[in-house]
C-alpha cells in the first residue's frame, strides 16, 4: 500500500480518505499497554507496556521505554506510569514520549540521524545551511491520519490534549478521537450493546446505543485485575505458612522441592546503593500474579461461594472437594491451590468474601459487577434495557479469568428474570484483549469514515476545542 503525501496546510480531499489511498494509524493507550497499528489490520503491530523505567544518570533522570527496558534490573531503576488508576493521563509529557515510542518503534520510521553528527560527513557550512530546520520538519505521522481511543469518562483537557500532540508534535494530517466502549461494540459487530470492559486498573460498564455512548449510564469500579492481584497478595500473606512471592530477577538458581515445602534457591544480591526501586519489584511481582490469574484463578459457579447448594451444604465446602491446581513460584516453591483459587475473584460479585487490611480496604456492595451493571441500566431509557441485556459484550484482559462469563450471566438473570440475557465474549484471546483497538481498525478503514476526520486546516481554524464539537 502506498501512502499519499498529504499536505499539512490544505484540507484533505474526500478521495484521499476513501478506500486504500491512505494508511491511517490507530492508537489505543491503556493502563497496562499501549496498542498501535494500521487501520484495516486484524491485530496491533505495536504492543508496548504503559510502564516506563526511570534511571538516574548523573544529576538527571533518564526515561526508558519498552518490554526489555522495564524488566531489566538496572541500578536504581524506578518504574512509573503516565496513566492514573482510572485510565486518564496524569503525566502528558511522558505519555507523549511513550506513545511516540509505540508508533516509531514498530509502525513508522524513526527520524534519520543528523548528517552533521553521524560521523559520515564533513561539517561544511553548505551542509549546515541545508540542515537548518530539517529536523523540525521530520515528524512521525506526516503521512498518516491518526485515530485515538479514550475512556467514556475522559475530561475536557484529556480530550483536547491528544489532538494537540498529534497535530503539533507529530504532524498528522487528520485526527479522530473515539470512545473505547463504542469501538469494543463495533469489534463485536454491534452498534448497540452494553460493553463490560474488565481491565487491569478498573472495570467499566458502557451502554452504547446506535454508536453513541449513553454518558449517564457509564460507570466504573476499581474491582478489576489489579484488585484481584491485591486479593492474591493477601491470600498468600495470610496462608500458614505464608507463601513467598519472589520475582525471577532475584533468583540465581533453584532446586526442585515437594509441594508445600520451603523453597531451596540461591538468591541474587545487589551492591549497596544499586538495588532497584521497590516499584520495580512490585512490577515483577505483578508478572507472577498475572501468570497465576491466567492459569489458576477461577470464578465459582453456580451460586455464590459463600452460599448454599441444592444438597444443603455450603459451596465453600463443595469448592474444597474440587480438583486443585498446581502452581510453581520462580524460586521453586510450589503448591496445590484449591478453594483459594475461587476466593481471589469472588468479591467481584460478593463483597462478603473480600479479604482486607489497612492498605486494601474492603469494597462496598455497590462496587460489585452485578450492582454496577444494575446502576448503569437504571440510568438509561427503560425501552432499550432489554435490547442492551440481550447484547452484553464482555472484553478486557481480566475477563479471561475462567468462569467469569457464566457467573455474570447467572447473576444478571437473577437480577432481571424477565428479559433475555445474552453475553458475547470473543473466544479469541487477542480479540478480547485488543477489542477497542480492533474496533478502531474497523472504523478507520471504512470508506464512509473519510468525511469524519478532523483535518489540519480545521484544527488550525478552531483549535483543540474542535474535538468537543466533532467527536461526540
b (16+ CB within 10 A) / e for 441-462: bbbbbeeebbebbbbbbbbeee
Smallest Cα–Cα separation from 369: which of 426, 324, 412? 412
Residue 226: all three cell numbers together: 489489579
User: Whole-angstrom Cα distance, residue 472 to residue 462?
Assistant: 16
Q: How many CB atoms lie within 10 A of CB 472?
A: 11
Collapsing DSSP to helix, strand or coil, 34 comes out as strand
Residue 2: the pLDDT is 46
Residue 73: all three cell numbers together: 534490573
User: Whole-angstrom Cα distance, residue 2 to residue 390?
Assistant: 42
Backbone φ and ψ of 25, nearest 5°: -105, 145
Residue 87: the pLDDT is 87
User: Whole-angstrom Cα distance, residue 441 to residue 448?
Assistant: 14
Residue 109: the pLDDT is 65
To which H or E segment does residue 83 belong? Answer: none
Residue 8: the pLDDT is 46
Smallest Cα–Cα separation from 43: which of 428, 450, 447, 446? 428
Backbone φ and ψ of 434, nearest 5°: -110, 30
Residue 363: all three cell numbers together: 469494597
Sign of CA dihedral 29, 34, 39, 43: negative
By DSSP bridging, strand 52-57 and strand 60-64 are antiparallel
Verify cis geometry, omega within 30 degrees of 0, for the bond prior to 84.
Answer: no
Sheet of strand 60-64, all strands in order from the earlier edge strand to the far edge:
60-64, 52-57, 78-80
Instruction: Specify burial of residue 469 (Cβ count, 10 A radius: 0-12, 13-18, 19+).
Output: exposed
Contacts of 17 (CB under 8 A, 6+ apart): 145, 174, 449, 450, 451, 453
User: Whole-angstrom Cα distance, residue 349 to residue 371?
Assistant: 9
What are the distances in angstroms from CA 27 to CA 23, 129, 209, 249?
A: 13, 36, 24, 32
Residue 19: the pLDDT is 42
Contacts of 400 (CB under 8 A, 6+ apart): 294, 429, 432, 433
Residue 395: the pLDDT is 97
DSSP string, 432-451: HHTHHHHHHHHHHT-GGGGG
DSSP 109: P
Enumerate residue ranges in the chain where pLDDT < 70: 1-22, 109-138
User: Whole-angstrom Cα distance, residue 112 to residue 89?
Assistant: 30
Q: What is the 3-state secondary structure (H, E, C) of 302-332?
A: CCCCCCECCCCCEHHHHHHCCCCEEEECCCC
Neighbouring C-alpha atoms within 13 Å toward the C-beta of 387: 13
Residue 90: all three cell numbers together: 496524569
Smallest Cα–Cα separation from 398: which of 353, 432, 437? 432
Q: N- to C-terminal Cα distance for the chain? A: 31
Amino acid at each position: 500500500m502506498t501512502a499519499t503525501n498529504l499536505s499539512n496546510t490544505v484540507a484533505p480531499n474526500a478521495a484521499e480518505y476513501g478506500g486504500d489511498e491512505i494508511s491511517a494509524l490507530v492508537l489505543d493507550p491503556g493502563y497496562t499497554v499501549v496498542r498501535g497499528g494500521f487501520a484495516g489490520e486484524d491485530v496491533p503491530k505495536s504492543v508496548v507496556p504503559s510502564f516506563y523505567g526511570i534511571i538516574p544518570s548523573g544529576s538527571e533522570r533518564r526515561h526508558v521505554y519498552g518490554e526489555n527496558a522495564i524488566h531489566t534490573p538496572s541500578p536504581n531503576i524506578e518504574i512509573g506510569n503516565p496513566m492514573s488508576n482510572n485510565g486518564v493521563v496524569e503525566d502528558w509529557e511522558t505519555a507523549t514520549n511513550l506513545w511516540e515510542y509505540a508508533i516509531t518503534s514498530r509502525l513508522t520510521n524513526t527520524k534519520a540521524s543528523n548528517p552533521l553528527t553521524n560521523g559520515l560527513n564533513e561539517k561544511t557550512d553548505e551542509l549546515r545551511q541545508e540542515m537548518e530546520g530539517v529536523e523540525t520538519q521530520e515528524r512521525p505521522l506526516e503521512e498518516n491520519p491518526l485515530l485515538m481511543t479514550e475512556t467514556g469518562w475522559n475530561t475536557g483537557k484529556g480530550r483536547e490534549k491528544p489532538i494537540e500532540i498529534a497535530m503539533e508534535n507529530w504532524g498528522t494530517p487528520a485526527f479522530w478521537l473515539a470512545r473505547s466502549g463504542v469501538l469494543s461494540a463495533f469489534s463485536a459487530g454491534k452498534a448497540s450493546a452494553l460493553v463490560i470492559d474488565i481491565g487491569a486498573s478498573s472495570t467499566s460498564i458502557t451502554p452504547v446505543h446506535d454508536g453513541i455512548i449513553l454518558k449517564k449510564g457509564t460507570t466504573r469500579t476499581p474491582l478489576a485485575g489489579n484488585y484481584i492481584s491485591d486479593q492474591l497478595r493477601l491470600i498468600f500473606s495470610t496462608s500458614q505458612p505464608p507463601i513467598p512471592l519472589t520475582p525471577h530477577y532475584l533468583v540465581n538458581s533453584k532446586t526442585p522441592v515437594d509441594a508445600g515445602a520451603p523453597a531451596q534457591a540461591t538468591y541474587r544480591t545487589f551492591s549497596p546503593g544499586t538495588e532497584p526501586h521497590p516499584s520495580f519489584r512490585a512490577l515483577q511481582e505483578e508478572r507472577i500474579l498475572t501468570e497465576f490469574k491466567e492459569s489458576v484463578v477461577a470464578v465459582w459457579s453456580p451460586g455464590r461461594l459463600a452460599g448454599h447448594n441444592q444438597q444443603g451444604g455450603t459451596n465453600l465446602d463443595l469448592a474444597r472437594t474440587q480438583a486443585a491446581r498446581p502452581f510453581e513460584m520462580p524460586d521453586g516453591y510450589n503448591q496445590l491451590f484449591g478453594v483459594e483459587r475461587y476466593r481471589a475473584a469472588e468479591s467481584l460479585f460478593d463483597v462478603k468474601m473480600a479479604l482486607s487490611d489497612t492498605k486494601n480496604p474492603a469494597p462496598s456492595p455497590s462496587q460489585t459487577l452485578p450492582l454496577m451493571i444494575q446502576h448503569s441500566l437504571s440510568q438509561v431509557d427503560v425501552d432499550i434495557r432489554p435490547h442492551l441485556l440481550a447484547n452484553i459484550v464482555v472484553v478486557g484482559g481480566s475477563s479471561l479469568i475462567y468462569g467469569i462469563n457464566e457467573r455474570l450471566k447467572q447473576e444478571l438473570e437473577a437480577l432481571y428474570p424477565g428479559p433475555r440475557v445474552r453475553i458475547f465474549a470473543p473466544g479469541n484471546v487477542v480479540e478480547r484483549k485488543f477489542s477497542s483497538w480492533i474496533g478502531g481498525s474497523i472504523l478507520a478503514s471504512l470508506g464512509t469514515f473519510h468525511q469524519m476526520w478532523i483535518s489540519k486546516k480545521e484544527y488550525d481554524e478552531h483549535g483543540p476545542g474542535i474535538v468537543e464539537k466533532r467527536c461526540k
